[in-house]
Structure 1
């Protein structure tokens, strides 16, 4: 019987064994090979753990022009070559009509890779600038507009999965942002079914460290496109949280790793959410009480 999870675990093991040697044998140093193998291994583990990619999937890789999405595409193209299952990749970039956006960079890069791609044009820049006062953070609205457009496009091209480049650090930062500013214990799940029910979002880099992705991006010399609308704004709350976590890690190495493990080890009965755990039905276990009395009387 075909078991997609079993197949993906085999893919992970295979990826771990061959590491970076298939495509770049003899061109990377020992440390560079270790970096490449580590990223592929961690991404493979995430794909397997959450059954992100299945036989026959059409994976739409959302490419922003940043280090994360370039690394994501690189890793998934490697998996496509070595995986024991067949799946298709379509790279999609959204041109939001930001002034000075280098329209030629991504098409040239993707043509060289030989990957199928689409550039979706949508002037969300004007909408954001019109609705958000000068000096205020534009990220939230920009993200919602972009997400809605990409969801619709994924449905149009028949994509079964939408792959995003969020990594482990993004997930931890989002957890604290939601806790500090939204009063919710909520982060970014490695796999998510969208509210519209039509799209499944996957984050294959969920186990990968940002510092490794940055180092890999530098190594590969990806043609990075800076975000002039939201990502380059200073004093964003996400940057404040990022700095806080970096400070914690400097003072107490391993703390962020412990935080990420905590996100994988949730115990609802030890929190206070009545929707997750029925505290109202907690009663004394009369059987346990009688056993205790018997022990005392012995």
Structure 2
């Protein structure tokens, strides 16, 4: 009879290796972390940020470059927030950390009507506080725990409700040009993170201490993506790959592509590329040819 503990260890090792591989690829693809960087890992107490910190600490030990990590948590003074959990965990882990204490909870409760979701304002206040700490403490990269599913959910939220082709980039320069934000988990699947978190038994702090209503629109996107993933395995991977393969000339944004200034090439040895909607690309050597597929 096989040993269930040994089987669990094998599964965990495979999962950990996969997550480290995904994070390593994302870091390399987008040049997220460079030699001498001071990386601020934003730790909320949720499964995503715990996993991000765990993987980055592991990679730090084997990386060919030297970089520093500091875990930073923002204590927003939500009622019932267990202030001891993160310090005890980080001390045991041996990771440098800092807890920022700022009562954004009272601000949000004062501004947002009762029963309305507070997540939008809360995240803006949190982001501003973390950016300020980064600027004041020589932080060169701010690491956030958004994963692939978060990116896809945001993509479809912007399509369905915002009228924009927009998601969360793996690497971002803040609007004030003072901070670089990275998302090392950009290639990681939420279901893998959930399993990893369960294996590691992280001391999870719930994100609903403020009593905010759930973001129903995001939950709808999450349910839609989970349904697709179950019914059509591989679809989410394909959609995410499409975010890395944008073709501005095949969309309709006049700011990204000069449709107005399009002209035909004229010459004896001109290869015209004709793109037909819903068809393959064909080369036409010096001829005006229309082909229906």
**TM-score, normalised to structure 1's length?**
0.86
Contact persistence 1:139–1:230 (CA under 8 A):
no
2:286 corresponds, among 276, 291, 297, to 291
Structure 2 residue aligned with 1:99: 79
Structure 1 residue aligned with 2:101: 121
RMSD of aligned Cα (Å)? 1.9
3-state SS in 2 of match to 1:281: coil
* Bigger shift: residues 46-55 or 249-258: 249-258
Does residue 261 of the first structure (1) align with residue 261 of the second (2)? no
Structure 1 residue aligned with 2:175: 195
Structure 2 residue aligned with 1:248: 228
Query: Which structure is higher in helix share?
Result: 1
3-state SS in 2 of match to 1:29: helix
Per-residue CA deviation, residues 2-40 of structure 1 (Å, 9 max, x unaligned), is xxxxxxxxxxxxxxxxxxxxxxxx996211110000000
Equivalent-residue separation in structure 2 for 1:27 and 1:254 (angstroms): 26
Equivalent-residue separation in structure 2 for 1:235 and 1:159 (angstroms): 31
Equivalent-residue separation in structure 1 for 2:147 and 2:237 (angstroms): 13
Structure 1 residue aligned with 2:32: 52
Give the superposition deviation at 1:184: 0.9
1:37 corresponds, among 8, 12, 17, to 17
Structure 2 residue aligned with 1:65: 45
* Bigger shift: residues 106-115 or 242-251: 242-251
Does residue 182 of the first structure (1) align with residue 182 of the second (2)? no
- Alpha-carbon spacing, 1:235–1:56, altered in 2? closer, same or farther (3 Å): closer
3-state SS in 2 of match to 1:277: coil
2:200 corresponds, among 217, 220, 227, to 220
Contact persistence 2:78–2:210 (CA under 8 A):
no
Contact persistence 2:117–2:215 (CA under 8 A):
no
Equivalent-residue separation in structure 2 for 1:108 and 1:156 (angstroms): 25
Give the superposition deviation at 1:293: 6.9
Does residue 169 of the first structure (1) align with residue 149 of the second (2)? yes
Unaligned runs of 5+ in 2: 1-5, 273-284
Give the superposition deviation at 1:236: 2.0
**TM-score, normalised to structure 2's length?**
0.88
Unaligned runs of 5+ in 1: 1-25
Equivalent-residue separation in structure 1 for 2:11 and 2:254 (angstroms): 49
